[in-house]
Every structure is written in C-alpha cells, then in structure tokens.
Amino acid sequence: MKRFIALLALLALFAGLSFGAPVSMLEVSRIDINPTVAVDADGQVVYAGVGGALNIYNIYQRDFPQLMGTIEGHSSRIKCIVVQDEKLFVLWEKEGLEIYDITDKYLPVFLGKFSSDNDERFKRFTTLDLDGQTAYIGGENFVASIDVSQPLSPTLLNYASLNCAPMKIDFHKNKLYIAAGKLGLGAMFVPNPKHFQFIGSQRGLYTTVKGYKNLIFYGRLDEPRPGEQTIFGKHLFSFPFKSPTVVKIADDVIYAGGLANFAIYNLPQNSSNPQLIWNLPNMPTLDCVLHDKIAYLANSYKGLSAFDVSDISSPAEIGRLETFDVPRRACITGNKLYVAAGVSGVVEFDVSTPEYPEFIGRLAADKLHTVWDVKQFNNDIYVLGARDGFINNIFVERYDADGNWLAEYPIARVDNLDPIGELSFSEKYCAVSLGREGIVLMHNNDGALDAGYSLRNFAVQFCDIEIRGGMLYASDYHGGYHIYRIDEGMPYLVGYLQTSTDGGNGIVLKDKYLLAADGPEGLTVIDVGDPKYPEKIANYPTVWGTDIAISGNYAFLSDGQGACKVFDISNLPDVEQVAELPDNGYWTHIYTNGDMIYGIDQFFGVYIYELRTEESTLARKVPAKPDQTTIVQAYPNPFNAETSISFSLADKTDAELSIFDATGRKVSTLIADKLPAGKYTMKWDAENFSSGTYFAILKTPDKQVEQKLTLIK
C-alpha cells in the first residue's frame, strides 16, 4: 500500500511538472524602420538597403516607388549595392559580398558569396567598387580584389592589410583610391587585379573618393594645413560641406551627398574646377543612383527620395518613401504601436490589422534630438530622450492618446549621453535608467512627474528597470541585478546578485521570480521572494539573451542572432522551451500584446509574429495569398486631385493598370510590367485633369477588371 501511495505521489509530481501543448510562431508582417543606406537601379527597378534588408521597388510611377519584395534574414547592415549585367552585388557588413541573378528583376536568385567563413582576415566589410569581372572590397584592416567572373564561386585574387577600415574605395585608371577616415587618403597602383603596389597617402580626415577623367573628387572633414604635402597633385576637388559621403558622376554633372545635404555640381568643358549649381540642406544622403533624369537618394533616416533632375539648376523632389532611424524600444497600447527611433522621434503605427501596419505619425521629433524609450501610463504617452543647449538635457515629454503635447519634465544633466535610457512606471513613481549615469527616481503624481532621487554607482551601467510595490529592480550590463527599497524615503540598496560578467539586459517579474535576459546565460530565473537574498534558481543558455517579455504562461526571449525563443513558464521556477525562431535577424527588444509578439530587430525594423497553440481558436483570420486578380479599392473615391488604387494578382503575370476617361480614351498608365503575385497600391495624381468620371482598368493576358472613379474639383 505504501508503495502504491508513493507511486501516486510520483505521478502527481510529474503531472505537476508537465507543460502545455506545443506552440508555434507565425510571421505576420514586418515594418521597415531602419535608415536607408544604399541604393542602385536596373531599368524600372530600384534596389535599396534599408538597414539590413534589401528592398526591391518598382519605379514605373516615378514619384511613388512600389515595394515589390525584400531579401532579409541577415545579421548585419547593407553597406553597398551595385547592379551590373543582370547581376546584383550586395555587400553586407558581416556576411560579406553576395551575388544574385536578376534576370527576373523582382525575384533575385542567390548565386554565390565571398565571406569570412573560412578566412579570419575578413571580419567586417565596409565598402565595394566593381570593375568589370573584378570586385574591390574594403573592410576592417584590409582591401582585396575578388574575381566574380564565376558568380557561383567568387575567388580571392589579392589581399593587402591596412591599419584602418576604408570608408570608400574607388578603382580608376589602374589605381585604387582609399578614403580612410582620420588616416587620410591613400592610393595603390593596380596594374592587374592580382597585384597592389602602394603609392602613398596624404593626411586629413577623408570620407569619400571618386575618380573621373583626370580629377579625383573627395570628401574631407578638416581643412588643409599650410604646407601640407599633397601626393595627388592639383587634380583634387573637395566638397565644401559637412561630412561628404557619396559622389556619383554622369555627363560632367556631379551629384554629391553628405550627412547634412545633397548638392549638384557642373564640370565646365576642359576645366578641373566644378561649379556648384544647386544645394539642398537638411537632406542627409548616404548614396544615390540616377535613372531617366531621376535621382533616387538613400536619405539615411529620411528614407528613399526621388528628385527630378531634368533641370539641374532647379531639381524638384517628386516623391519620398519614409523610413526612420534605428528602432530602440517600443510600447503597445490598444491598436497602436509606438516605436522609439532615435533622431526620428517616436514613430506611431496602427496595428489593428497586424498584417498591414499603417503609419500614423510621429511624436517628440520636434522636442528632442534623440529618443530612447516610450511608455504608456494612464492612457498618456511618455517619451524619454535628450536635447542640447539647456541646463538639463534629458527630458520626458508627455502626450495624450491623440498625440497632443501635454507637458515636459526635466530629468537630469549628463555630459555623456549613454543610449541606454529606459522608463518604468508605478502609481507612485517613475524610474529612469540612464546607463552609466545611474537611475533617476521621480515622484508620479497622477501622471505629473516631480523631482525625486538619483541613484548613482559609477561602476555600474544600468539597463532595464521594473517597479513592483515599494521595490525597484534593475539590471546592469555586468551581469548584476540590484534591488532597491524606494518607499521609505531615501532609496537604498536591499539586495544584489551577479549571475554573469556580460549579461544583465531585459528583466520581467512573474510571481516571486525575476526572469532575466542574461546575455550568454540566456534565460535566468532568480527567486526574489526575499529581496535581501535574491537566489539564482536556474538558467537556460542561448545565443545571447537581450530582452524578455511575458504573456500568460509564456515567456519570450529575444536572443540576439537567434531572434526569439519561447518558454512555457506555467510551472515556475521550472521552464521549458517550446518554440524558437532560429537565425532570423538580430532581435534586441521584445514586446507582447495578447497573442501578438513584436520583435525589434537592430537591422530590420519591427517583426510582428502571432503565437499559436493547438487549442487556440483564432477569431482573427490571417489574410492569405490573393486567390484572384482584381482591383480591391480606390481610396478616396470620390476624390479631389489624388487617389490610391489597390489591386491584387493571383499569379505572376504581365499587368497594366491604366486610367481611361468616360469616352474610353486612355489618359494615364500607372504601371505596365511583369509583376509577382501579391497586393499593390498605385497613386494617380489627377491635378491636371478635369472633373468627371474615369475608370481604372487592370489588364492581364487572361483577365480585365475595372473600377469607376469620380474626380471632383
């Protein structure tokens, strides 16, 4: 009998430790947010590097580029893009040079790559120039030549070590010019791709270089010194603006961009003196490409801009696809997603239909020079960031749910802006983590923030913070976890635990446990039932735990290059991994809203996933691939001057979307191309058309559909 009872107890124990049904994560959508850093074109197609994603746009409608597809899944940013002979060359910072076949321009086919997989000399790639069948690449402490005549297996031809990472290189008339930042401007004689012979260098702060005819154009940040040696002779021209980054030349017209502007120069015949024709400030330009008198600019955090340069003396901006600065942190309230995006402020999206996130607007970009975090409290939105020129330079801006500014609260004055700013709210307090500058604890008086206390520890770099009751929990980047008592006057340290030397990222509280994204330790479970003596219970190593969020009985760990891991935490302190997203970008922060998971990726923006279990019944149906070719809608309709026409294609096909007047005369063609299956939106600008009835007609080889349009002026 005793043996039977013991067996029942053992079974009960196993039953108590059992976990729920298997779960899976379904990718719903992704929001491009990262800066646009590189661009090139082939016919009616523009390829743009948006952070770590390669976006493919159709530019048949010049002022309204249409996103046709994307290549993602890398763990670094794109540095350069070059199109040549139906081949697409993409240089990634970590993965190296990848080559794609673009016979079908919208569906690049991967051919081969040159990377650091088998050679430790190639740790980081920074710049690329292509000359026929030879690719010249630069990176951390090297330049090299690569034979790309066999794109399936690019081979190394020559390698030269440097003491820098070139910012730009340019092969011109058997010379390889190297803009090497603070180490100067250098050149190598290259009689053939297998031989480099160093010519020399000249001092200065050089950011870009381009050879054209007998001239060498370059960008320089400093002024030449009296008597400075110039080994490249008189045929040099420096652009007189801040931080030049790119030079493109066509028919003696020079297009130059910098971190603060975009400019056009003309090179008079038989002259070595370029003349400034036009300059546009506040247009940060990292790259540009020309197509049919249109200049497409990779505008850093401003996105992808299109300028009509038919008249170079008065270019006109005709369109822009907006992207933003690198996403940092976020919050979700109701159907709105707020993303803190550095110099772009807080970017607001409607995610009521997560498959099609819709940009709404921005907050705080006019108040703060950079934004670190955004949180909701009592239906108001609080934004943490910094600006210069004030006694205090760290502020919290407060907005209502409609985006109206309500108030601002000065937090601190710091000399070194550590980009680890985070907010945490309770009914009585608001805590602000400022990295090495400590933690500022503010009094929360029904949403208004009043001065409080400063917690400083110069040996600690604080990261995430959580408030529960009268306790403040804080992680630090040295793998430490600090617990402060904050409801008895002056805050004081109650308990401390160190679990690693490099962890200490995101934290979240569940019952009496602190769940921590603990760097190389992965998920760490800490018992904080007695805050004086926190105790590490277990850890589950992963690639690199960066942040953690919980929803119901599940914990979601953003795992660096491993993207996301899902743990069943229904039986804490025991946990079990039940799902993962391996090798899916580089997630730094993670948030949940019911069954929806929002992963902030350092290189790709915001991923939106849905958690699915075998038992779950989904009230929301995920839109499937279009099952028919049709015009979905025109909005607005009726309209005044401009409307957007959406259509879907069931299969890859030749498609033409045109506008006809009431007499049947074609008055405009919005697109005519072979398009992949999917949904599209094209804009019709009817500013120069008279009021009346029009028809949008979509034609494919086997179908024709139409939509009636009403133009009212």
Residue 233 has a pLDDT of 60
Domain boundary among 294, 310, 340: 294
67 inside domain? no
| pLDDT on residue 1 | 37
Residue where a domain stops, chosen among 276, 294, 312? 294
584 within domain boundaries? yes
Residues whose CB is less than 8 angstroms from the CB of residue 401 and which lie 6 or more positions away in sequence, other chains included: 333, 379, 380, 381
Burial class (CB within 10 angstroms; exposed 0-12, middle 13-18, buried 19+) of 98: buried
**Number of structural domains the chain divides into:** 3
pLDDT, position 238: 65
* Shared-domain flag, residues 365 and 437: yes
Q: 């942040």: which residue's tokens?
A: 547
Q: How would you classify the pairing of strands 53-58 and 507-510?
A: unpaired
Same-domain status, 128 and 269: yes
User: Does residue 191 form part of some domain?
Assistant: yes
- Whether residue 18 lies inside any domain: the answer is no
Residues 249 and 113 in one domain: yes
**Domain span holding position 642:** 630-711
| Residue 505, C-beta contacts closer than 8 angstroms, at least 6 positions apart | 463, 464, 475, 477, 516, 517, 518, 519, 545, 546, 547
Which pLDDT score, from 0 to 100, does residue 549 have? Answer: 97
- Residue 421 tokens read as 């700013």
Residue type, 357: P
pLDDT of residue 642: 85
With respect to residue 464, please indicate whether it lies within any of the assigned structural domains.
yes
> What kind and span of H or E run contains 389?
none
pTM for the whole structure: 0.84
| DSSP reduced 3-state for 86 | coil
* Whether residue 678 sits in one domain with residue 588: no
CATH number at residue 239: 2.130.10.10
Burial profile 472-508: b = 16 or more Cβ within 10 angstroms, e = fewer: bbbbbbbbbbbbbbbeeeebeebbebebbeebbbbbb
Residue 57: inside a domain: no
Same domain, yes or no, for 578 and 704?
no
**420/281 same-domain check:** no
Last residue in a domain, options 579, 613, 647: 613
| Residue 620 resides in a domain | no
Same domain for 282 and 364? no
- Please name which of 640, 641, 642 lies closest in space to residue 682, comparing C-alpha atoms: 642
d(CA 28, CA 50): 19
Domain at 683, CATH number: 2.60.40.1930
**What is the model's pLDDT at position 647?**
86
Cα 60 from Cα 49, distance rounded (Å):
19
Strands 666-675 and 448-455: unpaired
Query: Is the torsion defined by CA of 353, 355, 358, 362 positive or negative?
Result: positive
645, two tokens: 């026409």
Q: Closest Cα to residue 553, out of 515, 582, 523, 510?
A: 510
619 within a domain of the structure (yes/no): no
Residue 466, H or E segment: strand 462-468
Say which DSSP state 519 is in.
B
Token pair recorded at residue 453? 């206390």
Residues 607 and 662 in one domain: no
Tally of helices (H runs) and strands (E runs) in the chain: 1, 62
Strands 605-613 and 653-661: unpaired
pLDDT of res. 228: 67
Question: Considering only CA atoms, which of 259, 240, 257, 241 is closest in space to residue 249?
Answer: 257
If asked whether residues 384 and 282 sit together in one domain, one would say no
User: Is there a single domain that holds both residue 598 and residue 638?
Assistant: no
Residues 282, 197, single domain; the answer is yes
In the chain (713 residues long), the average pLDDT of successive 10-residue segments reads 37 42 84 92 92 89 80 89 96 95 93 88 95 96 96 96 93 94 91 93 88 85 73 63 82 89 88 86 91 91 91 90 92 95 94 86 94 96 86 90 95 78 95 93 96 88 94 94 95 95 91 95 96 95 92 92 89 94 83 94 91 60 54 82 85 89 90 82 87 92 89 88
Q: Are residues 82 and 143 in the same domain?
A: yes
